Amino acid sequence: MAGPKGTYDVLPGTEFGAALAVRETLLAPALLAGYAYAESPVFEATELFARGVGESTDVVTKEMFTFSDRADRSLTLRPEGTVGVLRAALDANLHKGQLPVKLRYAGPMFRAERPQAGRYRQFQQVGVEALGLDDPALDAEVVALAWQAFAGLGLRQVRLLLTSLGDPACRPAYRDQLTAFLDGLDLDDDTRRRARLNPLRVLDDKRPEVQAQLAGAPLMVDALCDACRDHLAAVQAGLNALGVPYEAAPTLVRGLDYYMRTTFELVHDGLGAQSAVGGGGRYDGLSQAIGGPPLAGIGWALGVERTVLALRAEGLDVPAEQGVSVFVVPLGAAAKAHAIGLVGRLRTSGIACDLAYGDRGMKGAMKAADRSGASYAVVLGDRDLEAGEAQLKDLREHAQVAVPLDELVETLKERLL
C-alpha cells in the first residue's frame, strides 16, 4: 500500500533511507559556524505564507496544502522554512538580543507540485537563517556554508550561481524598465498576467520562443544603485577570501518573492530538469511583510532528496547510519539468559550491539549477524557458559578466539572504542 501521491517513506534500504545522515552532514558546517538548532511548526496560519512568500508566486497560488481547523481558521502546511523560522524568532524576541541570530533547521516541507524525479509533495530541506544584520561578510559566510555543505559530501558537480536583486532604492526603476521591455514583446495572455504581477519571473520562462525574445532584456545587475553594487562586490570579495567559486547569474530568478540583494542557487548538472539542489538569499523586507519590525535576514535551504540523487549521479557513497558493532548469538536457554545481561553491559559501555532473538539456531543466527553489519559476533553455547568463556568471532577476518566471560566487555572495548 503506497503513501499519498508525491510522498515516499524513509526506511532502511529505501531510496532515501539515508535522509537523516545526509541532513546531519549537510548541516555540519553550519554547526561549526555557530548556527543554533531551531524548529517551528509544520503548519502555520495561511496568511503568514501569503504575506511572506508572496501572492505572485506559484508556491502560494498553486502549491499550498491548505485546510481549515475545527474553528474554521485557515492553516497551511509549510511550503518552506524561512517564514516560519523568522516568525518564531520574532515571537521569542530573539531579535532584541545578540545579533545576528543564527539558526539552523531541518524537516519536511509541503508543495502540491506535479511529482517527478527529484520533485515531491512532501520533501525535506535543511536550512540556515542569519537574522538582524546586513553585513555583506555575513552574506559571504552564509553562501559559503551552502557550498561547504555539498563539498563535505564529496560532490564535485555543484555550481554556485550568484547575483543581486537590488533593493527598494533601485529595483522599482528596474522593474519599470523591464515592464516596458516586456510590453514590446509578443507574449501570450497568461505570461502577460505573470509579467504584471512580477515581471522578473518572466525572465525565468523556459520556453525557447520566450527565451529568444528575452535576449536583449535589461538586467538587474546593470541597474543596481551604488549601495547594492558595493554590497555585491563585498560579498564576492568575501567568497574569494573563503575560496568559494561562484558564477555570475544575472538572470537568476527565485520562486519566492522575498529576496533582495544577495540571491543565489546551487545547481547540480547530473540531475536533469530538477537541477536546483539549494537556494537562498537576503530578505531584509520579510519581517515587515509578516507584521514584524524592520529586520535584515539572509539564509538558504538545501533539498535532501536532490542531494541524495546528486550523490548517486556522481557515483559517491551516500552517508550511512552507523549500525551495530557486535552481534551476540546465544545457543541454548542458559546462554540466552546470560546473553541478555551481556548485551545490556555492552550497550552501557557505549558499544552498539544486538542479540539474535527468536532461538533460530546457529546457522540462522550467524546469517543475522552478517546482515547486521557487525564487526564481531559473540557466540555463547551452554558448554562455553560452563567453561566460563565465549567465542569471539571477527566477522571481517573470519578469525575466532575464546575469551573469558568476565573479560568480554573489556576486550571488545579495546578493539572497538
Smallest gap, in angstroms, from Cβ of residue 351 to ligand HAM? 38
Q: Are 367 and 396 in contact (CB under 8 A)?
A: no
Nearer to ligand HAM, 15 or 113 (CB): 113
- Tell me how many residues contact ligand HAM (CB under 6 A): 26
Nearer to ligand HAM, 205 or 382 (CB): 205
354 counts as binding ligand HAM under rule CB under 6 A: no
Distance CA 7, CA 120 (A): 6
Q: Helices in 167-225 by DSSP H: which ranges?
A: 171-183, 189-197, 199-202, 208-213
Stretch that binds ligand HAM, among 117-125, 201-209, 223-231, 234-242 (CB under 6 A): 117-125
Distance CA 366, CA 138 (A): 54
Nearer to ligand HAM, 256 or 379 (CB): 256
Residues 42-81 that bind ligand HAM (CB under 6 A): 80-81
Among 29, 299, 319, 330, binds ligand HAM (CB under 6 A): 299
Nearer to ligand HAM, 127 or 166 (CB): 127
84 counts as binding ligand HAM under rule CB under 6 A: no
Which H helix or E strand runs over 82?
A: helix 82-91
Residues 120-179 that bind ligand HAM (CB under 6 A): 120, 123, 125, 127, 129
Q: Are 232 and 224 in contact (CB under 8 A)?
A: yes
Give Rg (Cα) of the chain: 27
Site map 245..284 versus ligand HAM, x via CB under 6 A:
----------xx-------------------xxxxxx-x-
Sign, CA dihedral 232-234-235-239, equals positive
Q: Cell numbers 506535479 correspond to what residue?
A: 114
Distance CA 84, CA 29 (A): 23
Closest-by-Cβ residue to ligand HAM is 303
Nearest to 258 by CA among 233, 301, 287: 287
Nearer to ligand HAM, 305 or 389 (CB): 305
29 counts as binding ligand HAM under rule CB under 6 A: no
Nearest to 266 by CA among 144, 125, 156, 160: 160
Give the interface with ligand HAM as residue ranges (CB under 6 A).
80-82, 111, 113, 119-120, 123, 125, 127, 129, 255-256, 276-281, 283, 299-301, 303, 305-306
